[in-house]
């Protein structure tokens, strides 16, 4: 398995989240796993990917549509 080693700035940028949000999640213990080399906290790209996949919520919502719908047939999420 191949992976890259990312700084926290690079990991946040790749995940399209703020560095502050990433730091808060790591501090709370529910962020991607980090490891340290000296003072540098680093994130493996595969750990970042696994964390992002864990956050993904499947979109299995039912939508009710009717021509007589008061919302103009746009549907209502049930």
75 with 66: CB under 8 angstroms? no
Given a cut of 70, is residue 61 above it in pLDDT? no
CATH number assigned to the domain with residue range 1-78, chosen from the 4 options 1.10.1660.10, 2.60.120.560, 1.10.540.10, 3.40.140.10: 1.10.1660.10
Q: Domain map of the chain by residue range?
A: 1-78
64 with 53: CB under 8 angstroms? no
pLDDT per position as a tens digit, 24-49 = 999 999 999 999 999 999 999 999 99
Residue 51 tokens, joined: 């964390």
pLDDT per position as a tens digit, 10-30 = 999 999 999 999 999 999 999
Tokens 């796993």 -> residue:
33
Per-residue model confidence (pLDDT) at position 59: 66
Given a cut of 90, is residue 56 above it in pLDDT? no
Measured CA to CA, the distance from residue 53 to residue 40 in angstroms comes to 25
Does this model's pTM top 0.75? My answer is no
Measured CA to CA, the distance from residue 46 to residue 14 in angstroms comes to 12
Nearest to 11 by CA among 22, 20, 2: 22
């Amino acid at each position: 398995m191949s992976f890259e080693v990312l700084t926290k700035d690079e990991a946040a940028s790749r995940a399209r989240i703020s560095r502050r949000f990433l730091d808060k999640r790591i501090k709370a213990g529910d962020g991607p796993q980090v490891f340290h080399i000296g003072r540098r906290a680093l994130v493996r790209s595969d750990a970042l990917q696994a964390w992002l996949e864990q956050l993904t919520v499947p979109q299995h919502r039912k939508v009710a549509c009717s021509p007589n719908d008061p919302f103009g047939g746009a549907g209502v999420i049930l």
